[in-house]
Each structure stands twice: as C-alpha cells, then as structure tokens.
A and B are shown apart, each in its own frame.
Chain A
Amino acid sequence: MSDKIRKVDGITKESTQAMIDDALAVYPEKARKKRAPHLAPNDAASGCASVKSNKKTVPGVMSARGCAYAGAKGVVWGPIRDMVHVSHGPVGCGWYSWGTRRNLMSGITGVTSFPMQFTSDFQEKDIVYGGDKKLKTLLEEAHDLFPLAKGISVLSECPVGLIGDDINSVTKQSSKELDLPIIPCNCEGFRGVSQSLGHHISNDSIRDYIIETREFAEPSSPYDIALIGDYNIGGDVWSAKSLLEEIGLNVKSVWTGDGELEKIAATHTVKLNLIHCYRSMNYMCKVMEEKYGIPWLEFNFFGPTKIRESLRAIAERFDDVIKEKVELAIAKYEPIMQAIIDEYKPRLDKKKVMLLVGGLRPRHTIGAYEDLGMDCVGAGYEFAHGDDYDRTAPEMPEATVVYDDPSEYEFEKFAHALKPDLIGSGIKEKYVFQKMGIPFRQMHSWDYSGPYHGYQGFEIFARDVDMAVNSPTWKLVKAPF
C-alpha cells in the first residue's frame, strides 16, 4: 500500500463523474442502471472498492471478458507443463487457447511438456449420444502416445455440461486403470460471469484431486516456499524464481507457470506460499492455510519500489540469514535499477497511462509506471472481485476513473476524454487505440516481450514502455496534407 494520496492535475471527482455520465448517456435505461455502479472515481483514502464487480456482463456491449473454460484452460491448467490438457467438447475452444497466452514452458514438446491442442473434437453424434465413451478411449490414447505425461486434465466445454456427460466417473475409472492422475474440471464456459469462476473451479479440482498426493524426495528445509499465481508469461517465473533463490529460498513448486504436476501435489509441505496473482489462486492459499497451517503472503515483483517492499516483507517471515541476503540483493540491484530509471524517466516523466487487464496487473503495475515517472489516470479489470478493487484503491491517484468490465464504448470514451500517452490492455483493444494514434502495450501477453517480473523484468518493461510511448512512428499518423 502506498503511504500518501496522489493527485493528477486536472482530475477531480467531479470531472471523472462527468466523464462517466457522458459515457453512460447513450445506453438504454436498463443497461445504464446495470453499468453505472461499475464505473466510479477512485476514493484513495477509503482503501475500499468504489465500484461493483463480479456481476454478469451486460449483453451486447462488447466486453473484453472470457469464460470459465478460458480461466481454467488458459490460466490455471494450461501452464502445467508435464500434463496433457484435454479440451473436452468441440474443436474451437482448444484451438483458440492453443499457444495464445505465452505461458512459456521448458521441456521437450510431446515428450516431457505438452503445449499443444488436445481435443475430443465433438461432432453432432457426440452431442446426441454423449461423449463419455469417446473420452475413455481418448484418455487411453493420450497415455499411450505420451507415456511421460505425469497426468491428464479434462476441461469441459459448454456442451459437455449441457448434455449431462459424467466426466467425473469416466476420469475416476480411467485414472485407476491407467494408474495416472486424471483430473476432471467442470469449467463449462457458461458457468459464472467471467474467467474468474474457471480459476476457482480449477483451484477446487487441485484441492480435491492433486494436493497431498505426492511428497518431495529430499528432506524439507525452513526455507521451502511455493511460488503461487505466476504463469511464466514471457518467462516471468524464471526471473522471479532466480531472485527468490538468490535471497536464499527454495522454490519447491510453481503454480502453475512452467509448473510440474507432482511438485504442485507436494506443495502442502512448504513453509510459506508466496502469491503473485491473488485473484486466480487465493483460494488454494486459503485452503493450504486452513488445512496444513501454511501461511501465505501477497507480493509484487513489478518495478524496483514494489520489489524492495516485497523482498523486505518476505524477509520478515524468515530468519536473519534471509534478511541479510535480501538486503544484499537490494543493494546489488538498486544501482542497476537507478541507471534504468535515469535513462528512461526523462522521456516518460508525467506521461499518463490507462490500464485494463484481468484481475491483478492494473494495481500491481502502477508502481512500476510510477518508478518511471508516469501517472495512472484510469484502471480497471475484466474479472476482478471486490477484494481486488479494495487493494486497488490506495494504489491509484485520487479521483481517477475505475472501471469494472468496461464495454469497448466506455473505454474509448474515457480514452478520448483523458488522452493518455499509453494504454495497457489486451489484443482486442490494441488496434482500436493504435488507430487513434495512442501508443499501446498488451499487458496480458507483454506484447510478445517479457519477462516483466523481478529486477530482470523491469529493464525490459522500461524499454518496452519507452519504445511504445516514444516511437517516432506515432508522429507520422497525421498526414501533412
């Protein structure tokens, strides 16, 4: 949490509310009533959410949201590298989510890691007669063709739930027959209001089917931790892990970026869970706290200010050995970070950024933009809940606009009014704003760059933000004639 309330010139509660009212003016009455509570000026002092969230998307408005399947396949399960993840149902879902999240993996594709599309490719007859038989055969074939896969997840698409297939009993039986963890996940896209329920359902399946089924071969140490909620986008896990190891911790498992099933299954023996993406994995942290007494700590590895705060907070949970290493690491990296800031800040100072990402990054990255001298003038999430917005309020400047699951219409309106120097959001928004001449970075995928986590990541983040904002190409947008 930041200690003082910041302000941005020209932004007041009144100006923000007027901008919101203007954006809502065009809506039919019913939709306006639904949308209004999701848009508000930030109340930094309260430390509380100023908007409603986690409600159904209003039909027809052009939301950026995905579905429960996307949250399960794309976010939680997909990054576990040594499992075969079956998209159970028609061909599309698995195809769209194949290789499009940038959760990088080590290993040999098809041998020890499986960043591929596996589908039961439902046809009409499967809808009519059910797909359970096909699933059983498919699981045998997967085990046969990929003998080193440590397990299989079965991720239901919409039709599976609608036609009443029983994937839970099929997977239970096959799991016994093949002597392999096979995990059913009832994450049909129509469940819930966004990706978020898919995260929750997946966490529950890990709780029910995976945790506590393995033990580490080596003896435990007081420095054993798990890295939770880092999906290795562009290599984030590799950057974060090396920093955590440098301060003396043993990263025993990663949930789930470049993750390994058996290590995840043995996480119940670690001493502390460090959680980066609170939104998608707080559920299992809470389960492990209750069931195994493992404490958990939220941390933020974006930008030197937040990294320093986080490292010291982590050190507080350990003895002097770790505390000393943390101070050594901070002393080692801060001059390097200062050199980066000295290089880029003069070009980025006072530039304005607007953010719309999933459930974590807007609040987590504000500090990194501020390290570069930039102001966040608007932030929102696709699928955050109230506790995410509570955590966001103190990070944002006073009275700046907060938007929950905004429609593209609202987002455009706000950008027109606020004239940001940079927008950080997703692929669906990118080209809309670039056509308007507004620099943009994809903040789900790091725009095919990264990592952005850790000290190593900040150098790349700073370079990327600078190249987006200051590219000479933007000067050519307006023709001289």
Chain B
Amino acid sequence: MANLLGLEVKTIVETTPEEIERVKNWINSEEYKEKNFARQALVINTAHACQPLGAQLAAHGFEGTLPFVHGSQGCASYYRSTLNRHFREPAPAVSDAMTEDGAVFGGQNNLHEGLENAHALYKPKMIAVFTSCMPEVIGDDLTAFIKNAKQKAFVPKELPVPFANTPSFNGTHIHGYDSMLVSILQTLTEDKQVEGRCTGKLNLIAGCDFNTGDYREYRRILKEFGIPYTLLADIGDTFESPCDGTYHIYAGGTKLDEAADSINGKATIAIGPYATPKTFSWIKDNYSGKHVSMPMPMGIEKTDALIMKIAELFGKDVPASLKNERGRAVDAMTDSQQYMHGKKFAVYGDPDYLMGYVSFLLEMGARPHHILCSRGSKKVEKELQTLLDGSMYGKGCKIYMNKDLWHLRSLLMTDKVDAVIGDSHGKFAARDAGVPLFRFGFPIFDRVNKHRYPIIGYQGVVNMVTEICNKFIDIKDETCEDRFFELMR
C-alpha cells in the first residue's frame, strides 16, 4: 500500500454531467439552505478578518508611526497586502519574525532585535506593537518586554511604544482597531492632562473606517462649522498620498503632540460604538470635556444627529453651507427615490457599517431584506431590529447574526433580492444570484478609487444614491427589450 491512509488504489472516475447538474441545482435549494444553516463547526467565506488588521489600521493613523507585528512575519505580510490592495497605497509595517524557537523561549529576543532594527532603518516617531496568534498562545508578556527594551536601550526611552494584545481567535478587525487605538492614546496622553487647560478643540475618532474620503469629509464638515478639531487615528492622508516622485514612508496621521493634548479637549466624539467601545469608555473616564459616542453618520438622520451634536457641544448654529448641503442631499434622494423605492437589498459587514446601510436604505423606501452580520453581539441585533421596527419598509426584513457569506448565498438563491451591499467578497454570491453588488464596505479589491468617495455625511448620501440608482438604470438599459429602450429614464 503506497499511501498512509491505507486507501485502496482506485481508478479515476469523472463525475457525470447529470450528477454535476443535480448538485448545481441542489445548492440553490431550500433543502440546501437548511443544511447550510445547520452548520456547527465549518465557517465558509467570512465577512471579517482578524484583530491585528484593524490594529495596523489604527497605527497608520498617527504621525511617523511604524506598525510592528509581534509574531510570525507571514501575518504582517497578510495585513500589509490587504491594505495595499484596498487603498492601492503602500502600507509599511514590520514584524519581528518569530519562528519555532520563539515558541520555546518566548518572543522577547525577537521583539528587542526587531525594535532596534526598525528604529534604525525607518526612524519612526512611534512604534505601535500588536500581536498575532503565536505570542498570544504562548503568553508573551509585552508590558515587561517593552519595559526591558527601553532599559536595555534597544529603543530610546522617550520613544512611544504603545502595544495591544490582538489575538486572532477572538473578535474581528474592529476589536483590534479599538485595542490599538486606546493603547496609543493612553501612551501619548500619559501625564499630559493639565488641570484647567482646555484646547477648545473637538476630538473626533472616525471608527474603524477604511474610506479615506470619509476622513476628508469629517474635516470638511468641521471646517464649515469653524470648529478647531483633532481627528484622531486619521488615516486619510496615510492612504491617499500624492504621487509626486517621492515616497514618504509616513505620509499622514494625527500629529503626536496634538494627540497627546487631546486629553485636554473641549469635547470628544467617538464614531462607531461597535468599533470603539474600549477607547470610548477609557476616554470617558480620563479625558476632559464632554464625551459622546455616535453611530457612523450614514444617511440623513444619522448625519443630522452628528451635525446637531457638534452644534450643541460647541454652542454654535449649524452653518448655512451645511443646511444647503443637507438640502442638496435630500434633493438627490427625492429626485431619484423612484429607482430605489421598494427594492430589496441584502447587506452585510461590520456592525457600524450595517447600522448605516440599514438606516439609509429605509430612508429611501428600500428594504434591507437580508441583514447579515458575520460577528456581532445581541446588542447589535437589538439595535438593528429597532431600526427595522421604526419603518414600514423594515417589515419582513430579517437579521442573521454570526453568519457567513455562504449562508448569504443560500439566502440570495432562495429568497431573491434586487441588490447586495457589502465588500468585494460578496461578488461571488451576487453573481450567482444575478444581482449587482454595491461596494461600500471593506475591502474593495476589484474597483478603483472607491475609497476616495465618502459614504458618510450628506455627501456620502449623494454618492450612494448616485451609484445605486444609476446602476439600476444601467441594468434596465442593458436588459430591456428594444421597444422599451428609450432616451429618458
């Protein structure tokens, strides 16, 4: 017997075309859907990645900061490639390349050598350390390791080296974002709180948002208000850097001294309650001024809420320019509502994005028919249900918690919708179902420049309405009979 499995040697048998046809139809059936939803152990096509990816995103949001993966080098390559592909930008990050001996002796030597080399080569102003699986499983003590690194002068004592434990076997990229962000803020603001000092600024955290256009949009809104602000974890310029013949390894990010002074702010708004719970709770306990957690401002209502909150916090009227902008967004919606009204959508993604999609669709009179969250709590489900209950267009819509995109495929094949909203990974299920996929989430690997177009704020509403409605009109133009092919739509 040649093989270890002890299987007998068999002649190759090709699957018959009839059998292929049978299974092809079967995977689209109700029966298959039931089997598929009964899965206990196998997870297929998730709509989320692991914690360290989000940690790297947060690290990129600070001036001169080098993300540093404590773990296997392959992990770092995966996170970097993912960000490269989505933004079509560099994503410099190092790892300390732990291998088998790290598993035996712990990762301190790797971490120390890595910090020393990274500092010498890439001259960062801050090194943000986060972990992948290996050190988490063997239980490396980062607090001690980093303290020792400074004592032994592998890096200067004054170099900020925040760190976060970001095990991949717990949570998703949004939790890694939160852990890294709070650690960075804790490190930078240490001893910076000054009794009686107020910067007069608004601190804004955008949440685990992979759309650079959104960051520009937040800045613009605050500029319209004339409010001084600090945008924390600002990846806007990091991942939308100009092509001018010079490569800047640290192309953007919140200035470190500004971030340090943010603890003396007048107010702090943390966007994305599901991506920033730890950060917000720490800020609430430690930052001066007022603190508010807000949903991603997608759609009119959620944008209104943010605008009114900013106005309230700073005792200002909403500027006329933003009132006009709101009016223009609503104009775009009323002009085109007929192309979306009653249309059924399947939506999936991170909880904060999901709240936004659902809220926006309901405002348009569209139905978020299947809502799928691949990792989320009861609280997420409850909030989604409340949104659905608040609108007649939410009637009959269903929420699927902790399900994956192979479940989504079953839903699309057995209970048809008109379109899907999500990230590039949904393209396979959408194609099988013969419906368009609107790429508003993360990652977007197969379209260009989408990350430059905001989906938050009033401008985000205009962008989403335009993209969705025009696609539906395109489909009509491409598929209608000649006699119904007309100039006006």
Q: Chain B, 390-434, contact with A by CB distance < 8 Å: what is the 0/1 string?
A: 000000000000000010010000000000000001001000100
Given contacts A90-B168, A124-B170, A437-B245, contact A428 B134 (CB under 8 A): no
Count residues of A near B (Cβ-Cβ below 8 Å). Answer: 107
Residues from chain A with a CB closer than 8 A to the CB of B132 are 92, 158
Stretch at the interface among A109-117, A339-347, A365-373: A109-117
Q: Chain B, 83-118, contact with A by CB distance < 8 Å: what is the 0/1 string?
A: 011001111111111111011000000110111111
Tell me, yes or no, whether A238 is within 8 Å of chain B by CB.
no
Tell whether, in the assembled complex, residue B245 and residue A61 are in contact, meaning their CB atoms are under 8 Å apart. Answer: no
Tell me, yes or no, whether A126 is within 8 Å of chain B by CB.
yes
Tell me, yes or no, whether A273 is within 8 Å of chain B by CB.
no
Q: Chain A, 298-342, contact with B by CB distance < 8 Å: what is the 0/1 string?
A: 000000000000000000000000000000000000000000000
Residues from chain B with a CB closer than 8 A to the CB of A175 are 5, 7
**Separation of A119 and B172 alpha carbons in the complex (Å):** 14
**Separation of A427 and B85 alpha carbons in the complex (Å):** 7
Residues from chain A with a CB closer than 8 A to the CB of B43 are 91, 118-121
Stretch at the interface among B12-20, B194-202, B283-291, B336-344: B12-20
A215 CB to nearest chain B CB (Å): 5
Tell whether, in the assembled complex, residue A60 and residue B94 are in contact, meaning their CB atoms are under 8 Å apart. Answer: yes
Report which residue of B89, B134, B138, B168 has the largest number of chain A beta carbons within 10 angstroms of its beta carbon. B168
Stretch at the interface among A14-22, A135-143, A392-400, A463-471: A135-143
Tell whether, in the assembled complex, residue A190 and residue B77 are in contact, meaning their CB atoms are under 8 Å apart. Answer: no
A284 CB to nearest chain B CB (Å): 14
B413 CB to nearest chain A CB (Å): 10
Tell me, yes or no, whether A157 is within 8 Å of chain B by CB.
yes
Tell me, yes or no, whether B42 is within 8 Å of chain A by CB.
yes
**Separation of A26 and B117 alpha carbons in the complex (Å):** 9
Tell me, yes or no, whether B162 is within 8 Å of chain A by CB.
no
A314 CB to nearest chain B CB (Å): 25
Stretch at the interface among A39-47, A204-212, A452-460: A204-212
Given contacts A67-B75, A145-B36, contact A214 B244 (CB under 8 A): no
Residues from chain A with a CB closer than 8 A to the CB of B97 are 56-60, 63
Tell whether, in the assembled complex, residue A95 and residue B50 are in contact, meaning their CB atoms are under 8 Å apart. Answer: yes
Stretch at the interface among A227-235, A241-249, A274-282, A405-413: A405-413
Residues from chain A with a CB closer than 8 A to the CB of B113 are 30-31, 58-60
| Chain B residue, CB-CB nearest to A195 | B74
Name the one of B35, B115, B137, B172 contacting A145, with C-beta atoms under 8 angstroms.
Answer: B35
Tell whether, in the assembled complex, residue B247 and residue A435 are in contact, meaning their CB atoms are under 8 Å apart. Answer: yes
Tell whether, in the assembled complex, residue A93 and residue B78 are in contact, meaning their CB atoms are under 8 Å apart. Answer: yes
Name the one of A58, A124, A435 contacting B241, with C-beta atoms under 8 angstroms.
Answer: A435
Interface band, chain B: 35 or more
Residues from chain B with a CB closer than 8 A to the CB of A155 are none
B62 CB to nearest chain A CB (Å): 18
Tell whether, in the assembled complex, residue A57 and residue B11 are in contact, meaning their CB atoms are under 8 Å apart. Answer: no
**Separation of A27 and B121 alpha carbons in the complex (Å):** 7
Residues from chain A with a CB closer than 8 A to the CB of B95 are 59-60, 63
Tell whether, in the assembled complex, residue A89 and residue B133 are in contact, meaning their CB atoms are under 8 Å apart. Answer: yes
Residues from chain A with a CB closer than 8 A to the CB of B13 are 217, 262
Tell whether, in the assembled complex, residue B42 and residue A138 are in contact, meaning their CB atoms are under 8 Å apart. Answer: yes
Tell whether, in the assembled complex, residue A479 and residue B103 are in contact, meaning their CB atoms are under 8 Å apart. Answer: no
**Separation of A288 and B13 alpha carbons in the complex (Å):** 23
Tell me, yes or no, whether B3 is within 8 Å of chain A by CB.
yes
Tell whether, in the assembled complex, residue A431 and residue B88 are in contact, meaning their CB atoms are under 8 Å apart. Answer: yes
Tell me, yes or no, whether A193 is within 8 Å of chain B by CB.
yes
A70 CB to nearest chain B CB (Å): 5
B79 CB to nearest chain A CB (Å): 8
Tell me, yes or no, whether B320 is within 8 Å of chain A by CB.
no
Tell me, yes or no, whether A430 is within 8 Å of chain B by CB.
yes
Report which residue of B3, B24, B39, B46 has the largest number of chain A beta carbons within 10 angstroms of its beta carbon. B3
Tell me, yes or no, whether B243 is within 8 Å of chain A by CB.
yes
Name the one of A172, A216, A409, A432 contacting B90, with C-beta atoms under 8 angstroms.
Answer: A432
Tell me, yes or no, whether A78 is within 8 Å of chain B by CB.
no
**Separation of A163 and B90 alpha carbons in the complex (Å):** 35
B341 CB to nearest chain A CB (Å): 33
Given contacts A67-B74, A116-B406, A431-B88, contact A58 B117 (CB under 8 A): yes
| Chain A residue, CB-CB nearest to B115 | A60
Tell me, yes or no, whether A123 is within 8 Å of chain B by CB.
yes
Tell whether, in the assembled complex, residue A193 and residue B99 are in contact, meaning their CB atoms are under 8 Å apart. Answer: yes
Tell me, yes or no, whether B72 is within 8 Å of chain A by CB.
yes
Residues from chain B with a CB closer than 8 A to the CB of A437 are 243, 245
Tell whether, in the assembled complex, residue B169 and residue A127 are in contact, meaning their CB atoms are under 8 Å apart. Answer: yes
| Chain A residue, CB-CB nearest to B406 | A116
Stretch at the interface among A4-12, A96-104, A349-357: A96-104
Report which residue of A112, A135, A412 has the largest number of chain B beta carbons within 10 angstroms of its beta carbon. A112
**Separation of A437 and B2 alpha carbons in the complex (Å):** 55
Tell whether, in the assembled complex, residue A90 and residue B169 are in contact, meaning their CB atoms are under 8 Å apart. Answer: yes
Residues from chain B with a CB closer than 8 A to the CB of A215 are 9-12
| Chain A residue, CB-CB nearest to B409 | A110
In the complex, 6 of the A-B residue pairs with CB atoms within 8 angstroms, ordered by the A residue number, are A86-B42, A116-B45, A116-B428, A432-B90, A432-B92, A437-B245
Additional A-B contact list (6), CB under 8 Å, known A109-B428, A112-B20, A408-B92: A30-B113, A60-B119, A63-B95, A91-B49, A116-B45, A192-B99
Give 4 nearest A-B pairs by CB, closest first: A67-B74, A92-B50, A60-B114, A59-B114
